[in-house]
Homo-oligomer: A and B are copies of this chain.
Amino acid sequence: MRLHVAVPLRWSDLDAYGHVNNARMLTLLEEARIAAFWSVPGSAAPTAVLDTGPGSPTVTLVAAQRIEYLVPIPYLREPLDVELWIGRLGGASLEISYEIFSAVVDGERTLYTRASTTLVLVDRASGEPRRVSDDARAAWQPYIEPPVVFRG
């Protein structure tokens, strides 16, 4: 099962070419992960269950990222529709896969970007890697799908 997160653009995401800057895309993916996975004290529960937000004993570090830009993204008032899922679940790490779409217009939508992020779970206090617990493994199970396939 994929998670869907609506990520609004800002006008300042555009660079001098008038499209969303390539580096900024990773910021938008970060927002999608946070919306999907972090619980924030005093806020509504997140869509899903990673629970590595502020206050959690576990932190996730970004170990690697890969991204393919298929179509330049113009300024859009409607949020991007970021589909994300767990493409691989390891012992102390996981790989998030993404496909980033436009909103649906006239029954169609555009696939702008494919990406993946490798996250390593780390104990906030010690900085040591931390194995995915059985509880977490069970909770994440529904969101595991085959990893995104890159062209390149």
Contacts and interface: CB of A to CB of B under 8 A. Distances in A.
A35 to B, nearest CB: 8
A70 to B, nearest CB: 9
Give the oligomeric copy count.
Answer: 4
Contact of A23 (B24, B44, B61, B77): B24
Interface of A: 8, 10-12, 14-16, 18, 21-27, 30-31, 34, 40, 42-44, 54, 61-69, 72, 75-78, 105, 118, 150, 152
A44 B77 contact: yes
A78 B22 contact: no
24 contacts: A10-B30, A11-B15, A11-B30, A12-B23, A15-B15, A16-B18, A22-B62, A22-B65, A23-B23, A26-B26, A40-B77, A42-B105, A43-B78, A44-B77, A61-B72, A63-B69, A63-B152, A64-B66, A64-B69, A64-B150, A65-B66, A66-B66, A66-B67, A118-B152
